[in-house]
Amino acid sequence: MKLKVNNEPVEFNEELNLQALLQKLLLIEKNGIAVAVNASVFLKKNWNQFLLNENDEVIIIEAAQGG
């Protein structure tokens, strides 16, 4: 499966949902993450239910401290 994650091409050998993608990217345990697929934002409670499709564009944003 080919995806774009934060504008970088990535490829996986299996179908993934959002939760599995974040696990593979070692981001699942981080707090303050927002995820959008093809410009639609998904709540964390729905990550396990949303199956990614070939050529989906995923944007992952991490909140940062500062002012």
Q: Which residue has the tokens 């927002």?
A: 34
3-state secondary structure of 36: strand
For residue 65, the model assigns a pLDDT of 73
pTM of the prediction?
0.89
Q: For residue range 11-63, what is the model confidence (pLDDT) as tens digits?
A: 999 999 999 999 999 998 888 999 999 999 999 999 999 999 999 999 999 88
Q: How far apart are CA 30 and CA 27, in angstroms?
A: 5
Complete domains list, the chain, with CATH: 2-56 (3.10.20.30)
Backbone Cα Rg of the chain: 12
What are the backbone angles phi and psi of residue 49, rounded to the nearest 5°?
-95, -20
Compute the Cα dihedral for 8, 56, 44, 48 and give only its sign: negative
